[in-house]
Structure 1
Amino acid sequence: MRRLVLATSNRGKLAELQPLLGDAGFELVTQGELGVQDAVEDGLTFVENALIKARHACRATGLPALGDDSGLVVDALDGAPGLYSARYAGEHGNAAANIAKLLQEMRGFGGERRRAHFYCVLVALRHADDPQPLIVEGAWHGQVLEAPRGDGGFGYDPVFLDPERGLSAAQIEPAVKNRISHRGIALARLRQRLTEL
């Protein structure tokens, strides 16, 4: 097994990523488990933030690293919450507050104006100064519901409708969600590229 540092302290992300990469010969460990603090995400795009995280983890551990940045993009809000999805309401990781703010911002929006997509960028670096990062992306298109539905998943899942299934992301079985979601799509692409390397 080749060891890969996941540039996060979020064990939920580890649980999501490990099954797909484990059988490709990679053992994932979070940077938090190795005593590494989170990087300062001051990029202006998802790609920049994923690179910042991956480089920070590589530099701190000396191991290859995987950085991810993702969020919910709402067209009618000019891309918000976007890069600030996790801290949209001010406090990092407060999903209930973030959802409440999003629903407030979208009051009175109907039909096409509720369109949104989850977006994910994954960056793999062999070392901190790797000039050729492996970059993949994935998107999951849907719309923002007017009220939360379901109690699975995390983040904005309860208010994100998958129109093909007529269910919120929080109502979809985890195995199905991991296959069709923005992160699942990006991971499948990453896995293919990693095995090619």
Structure 2
Amino acid sequence: MRKLQPGKLVLATHNGSKLREIRDLIGPFGFEVTSAGELGLAEPAEEGTTFEENARTKALAAARATGLPALSDDSGICVDALDGAPGVHTADWAELPDGSRDFAMAMRNVEEKLAGKGAATPEQRGARFVSVLCMAWPDEHVEFFRGEVAGTLVWPPRGKLGFGYDPVFRPDGYDITFGEMTAEEKHGWKPGDAEALSHRARAFKRFAHECLGVD
């Protein structure tokens, strides 16, 4: 596993909410962080069938364009009763004809599909959030770090915090959804913490251990 030295780092994302979460996580480690969106880089086409493939595409595109190490995230929600959908198409289910995204519509779509399956009880409404981080260097060496969190889908949506499908996802062991959690509650992992809650924080914890040498 290759170690990453502190310095300039590109976060290969144009998603402002995702950028805030990753910046919160990487803040204590002494990196000078910018993002693909802030640099005006083009968004590469995400045509992979796995989170790893799409994360690799984004990280390598940013590393090639800037000559700097680049960290990407590809993430989504996988619903058991829908055979793992929307999965890598999580953001696509929210896309409107003008290219913007409506996650309220996407959450309704998931709920309608669950209703069509007769998935009414909590046991029938299991889901998991998945995050795959890809660390890419300018020489095109890459490393992957995967995090998952299991939970149950609720309806109607609850909470206005978080983003995406957070208001309908209640992680196992909790009475509130990601949409009702503060940023600190959801992804507030820091060095020395034994556990991380969110999928992205769990993936980042693995990244910090393997690439930054932090426990």
TM-score calculated relative to the size of structure 1: 0.93
For 1:168, the equivalent position in structure 2 comes to 177
Question: 2: CA distance between counterparts of 1:61 and 1:185?
Answer: 27
Q: CA deviation at 1:25?
A: 2.1
Partner of 1:150: 159
- Contact persistence 2:132–2:146 (CA under 8 A): yes
2:80/2:126 contact within 8 Å kept: yes
Identity, in percent, stands at 40
2:104 aligned with 1:99, yes or no? no
Following TM superposition, the consecutive aligned residue runs of length 4 or more in structure 1 with deviations greater than 6 angstroms are none
Q: Which residue of 1 aligns with 2:16?
A: 11
Corresponding letter in the other structure for 1:111? P
Residue 90 of structure 1 and its aligned partner are, at CA, apart by 4.0
In structure 2, the residue corresponding to 1:32 is in which secondary structure? coil
Given the superposition, is the C-alpha separation of residues 125 and 184 from structure 1 closer, same or farther in structure 2, using an over 3 Å criterion? same
**Secondary structure, counterpart of 1:23 in structure 2:** helix
Q: Which of 87, 112, 122 is matched with 1:111 structurally?
A: 122
Write the letter of the residue equivalent to 1:101.
N
Greater fraction of residues in helix? 1
Partner of residue 195, structure 1: 212
Structure 1 residue 19 displacement after superposition: 2.6
With 18-27 and 157-166 compared, the bigger mean Cα shift is at 18-27
Gaps of 5+ in 1: none
Verify the 8 A CA contact 2:94 2:101 in the aligned structure 1: no
1:184 aligns with 2:201: yes
- CA distance in structure 2 between the partners assigned to 1:115 and 1:172 by the alignment: 19
The one-letter amino acid paired with 2:149 is W
**Higher mean C-alpha deviation, range 40-49 or range 100-109:** 100-109
Does structure 2 conserve the Cα–Cα contact (< 8 Å) formed by 1:46 and 1:70? yes
TM-aligned CA distance change 1:31 to 1:128, over 3 Å: farther
Aligned residues: 195
RMSD: 1.6
Distance 1:55 1:18 in 2: 19
Measured in 1, the distance between the counterparts of 2:182 and 2:23 equals: 18
Is residue 27 of structure 1 aligned with residue 32 of structure 2?
Answer: yes
Contact 2:17–2:163 under 8 Å retained in 1: no
Question: Aligned match of 2:135 in 121, 124, 132?
Answer: 124
Q: Cα 1:100–1:39, aligned 2, differ >3 Å: closer, same or farther?
A: same
Q: 1:11 to 1:128 in 2, by over 3 A?
A: farther
- After superposition, give the CA deviation of every residue in 1:137-169 in whole Å (9 maximum; x if it has no partner): 111110111211111111001111123121111
Q: Name whichever of 84-93 and 105-114 sits farther off.
A: 84-93
Could you list the per-position Cα deviations for residues 1-39 of structure 1 after superposition, in whole angstroms to 9, with x for gaps in the alignment? 511111111222222112321221222211111120111
Whole-Å Cα distance in 2 between the matches of residues 128 and 88 of structure 1? 34
1:85 maps to amino acid: T
